[in-house]
């Protein structure tokens, strides 16, 4: 684990930030290759991606503050400017909302682009989770098994003083697997929006399961974390969208 990649004078370059940046870049260039095949202009797409990313990061920060509001009131700057102060679901909802509005404004096919977008999102997210591992956030529960990893004491995971489940690496591998499954299906889709809806279902299922092994602080409603409840909602939305898009496709071809 190398939380600090290198230093240039008084400037510190953190591994977490670099890997999140690399995830964004990888996702962008992957999607750029795909949209070119669809005949969509690079400028239009780049503008949409840029503003969707901005709103995605804003949404991720807003969700983080809302879920840690008591701590935010005590230390607004510390929470607001934390390097790891992001909630993925907030980024997805805000980013997708912006993506939908911008594609509609430019008269582009949202579902066609959304099928590409979620593949890019999976790729970028898989790389970003390795960044979480380097920082020690998003860690798992304490364990004495062989899979456990002991983080440096200065890291969030290391503050527990014991080995924890490396849920960051497990998540990265799972995201890569979901990416490969959906990527292999891209030429066999039956209707536009199929990859998009399957992303909701598959990621929702995985996130619901991995939450049982997460050890970092998170709000709960009964026995389930708030993220598990959101994951269940994501699965339901994915299933509904799958049937809706399939029905729309059959209607347009009947």
Backbone phi, then psi, for 27, in 5-degree steps? -65, -40
Helix residue ranges, H only, the chain: 15-37, 42-67, 69-74, 76-80, 88-105, 110-135, 167-185, 194-210, 226-252
Nearest-angstrom CA–CA distance, 225 and 215: 11
pLDDT confidence of residue 222: 87
pLDDT confidence of residue 10: 79
pLDDT tens for the chain, residues 1 to 254: 677 777 887 787 888 889 989 999 999 999 999 888 877 878 888 899 899 999 998 898 888 888 777 766 776 666 666 655 678 888 889 999 999 999 999 888 899 899 999 999 999 999 999 999 998 889 999 999 999 999 998 888 988 989 999 999 999 999 999 999 999 988 788 888 999 999 999 999 999 999 999 999 888 988 999 999 999 999 999 999 999 998 888 787 76
Torsion of CA 124, 58, 18, 160, to 10 degrees: -100
CB distance 60 to 24 below 8 Å: no
Centre a 10 Å sphere on the Cβ of residue 35 and count the other Cβ atoms it contains: 22
For the chain, domain boundaries: 4-40+108-252
């Amino acid at each position: 684990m190398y939380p600090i990649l290198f230093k240039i004078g008084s400037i510190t370059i953190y591994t977490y930030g670099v890997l999140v940046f690399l995830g964004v870049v990888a996702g962008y260039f992957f999607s750029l290759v795909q949209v070119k095949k669809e005949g969509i202009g690079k400028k239009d797409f780049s503008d949409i991606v840029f503003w969707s990313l901005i709103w995605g990061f804003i949404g991720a920060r807003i969700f983080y503050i809302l879920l840690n509001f008591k701590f935010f009131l005590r230390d607004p700057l510390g929470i607001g400017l934390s390097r790891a102060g992001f909630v993925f679901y907030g980024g997805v909802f805000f980013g997708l909302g912006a993506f939908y509005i911008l594609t509609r404004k430019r008269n582009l096919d949202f579902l066609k682009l959304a099928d590409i977008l979620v593949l890019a999102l999976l790729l970028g997210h898989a790389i970003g989770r390795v960044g979480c591992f380097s920082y020690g956030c998003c860690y798992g529960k304490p364990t004495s098994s062989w899979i456990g990893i002991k983080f440096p004491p200065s890291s969030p995971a290391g503050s527990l003083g014991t080995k924890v489940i490396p849920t960051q690496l497990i998540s990265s591998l799972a995201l890569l697997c979901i990416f490969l499954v959906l990527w292999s299906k891209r030429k066999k889709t039956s209707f536009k929006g199929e990859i998009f809806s399957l992303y909701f279902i598959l990621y929702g299922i995985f996130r619901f399961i991995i939450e049982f092994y997460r050890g970092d602080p998170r709000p709960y409603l009964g026995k389930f974390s708030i993220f598990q409840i959101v994951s269940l909602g994501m699965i339901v939305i994915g299933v509904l969208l799958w049937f809706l898009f399939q029905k729309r496709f059959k209607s347009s071809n009947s």
